[in-house]
Structure 1
Amino acid sequence: MRTTVLAVAMVMACLAAAHEDVRPQRDFNLQRFAGRWYRVGLAYASEKFAPFRDKLKASMGVVTALPDGNVNLTMYDATPLGCLVKVYHYQKTNVPGQFTYFSTRHNLVKDMTVVETNYTDYALVVKHKVFNREYTQVALYGRSTAVRTSVLDRFRSFALSQGFPRDSILTPPPAENCPPSESGL
């Protein structure tokens, strides 16, 4: 038991230290970042999430840049209950590529940073929050449901550098009919 507690503490310390090194994409351009993205990779080490890892599907989101520099993100997630739609409102910060948003699920403000993107193929995004303990998540987004092997390797390498164990780094299969094909998206 003591060994497990020590191991968890070490991972959390690594994640906390790694988060301090997270920097947004240099010269981030929100207009170029806007549009359709698929979450094709996820690194998340939460024990509560572990039982759901094999059920995860690649979700789709639409990023809409607002005139004031804020962002709306409409996410389509395939679940056992069907295709669920969630809208997130991201507030710009004084650093381009970094945003905050209010999580109704956790009733607190979280950070989101676009760490790296080429705008046309992929984006690496880090979400971070602190409550009870520190939580970090790394996501790989692609403009399509398939990304190059070199991009997947970059995502895995980045997640490992942030302290995530290999078994918490996922590349879920595409969701079927989510959003529904008749939605026009």
Structure 2
Amino acid sequence: MAAQGVLWVGLLLLGVSGVPQTQAKDQDTLQPYFQPDKFLGPWYSVGLASNASWFLEKKNVMSMCKTTVAPSADGSLNLTSTFLRKNQCETRAMQLQPTERPGRYNYHSPHWGSIHSVSVVETNYDEYAVLYTQGTQGPHQDFRMASLYSRTKTLKDKLKEDFAAFCKSQGFTEDSIVFLPEPADKCINEPE
């Protein structure tokens, strides 16, 4: 149970929002001319979709988390997320290693012992970002997740609609898409 919580938090850290011009399935869909310096700063995880069974079981109890993206000296991105877990605020950190393609990163999952590919599919940097993650969980289990990030805790309906359409274009079903509520605590409202 705790391992699943750590996993979804790590994967939640990978998410961001937007609507790609083409499908992420083709592995070539990335934000054109991705600028990591504009991607830095605070984001809220506001939407998720996944094919993982643990996600479908937990999606109704998940809430929004705040993630801060900061640069690392080696060119990687450090993501630090604060979220509510068991009525307490927790913080987790992870590092996305850059690949040869701007906007594509690798994340080593300590839980699964596998590498996940994380792509920034689309972002306007000031309002939303969409991330697409794929890899494996356990022996030969395909894992996919789409994440919608927002600079604010509220989203325009059009962004929600576009994110849902993107998720469906990636093969996610309606019941695997969730928009996360703001937690009833101060975890994501605390100053940086």
Tell whether the structures are fold-level matches, with TM greater than 0.5: yes
RMSD: 1.7
Quote the offset at 1:179 in angstroms.
4.0
Quote the offset at 1:19 in angstroms.
2.4
User: Contact 1:22 / 1:115 at 8 angstroms: preserved in 2?
Assistant: no
Distance 2:28 2:159 in 1: 18
Question: Is 2:113 aligned against 1:107?
Answer: yes
Distance 2:106 2:27 in 1: 18
Question: Structure 2: which 5+ runs fail to align?
Answer: 1-22
Q: 1:43 to 1:107 in 2, by over 3 A?
A: same
Q: Deviations over 1:101-151 (max 9, x none)?
A: 111121221111100000000000011102422110000000011111111
Equivalence map 1:6-155=2 (5 Å): 19-21=25-27, 23-131=29-137, 132-155=140-163
Distance 1:84 1:104 in 2: 18
Q: TM-score under structure 2 normalisation?
A: 0.81
The number of equivalent residue pairs is 167
User: Contact 1:37 / 1:60 at 8 angstroms: preserved in 2?
Assistant: yes
2:186 aligns to what? 177
Tell me the percent identity.
28
Quote the offset at 1:92 in angstroms.
0.4
Q: 1:160 to 1:114 in 2, by over 3 A?
A: same
Q: TM-score under structure 1 normalisation?
A: 0.84
Runs of 4+ in structure 1 over 4 Å off: none
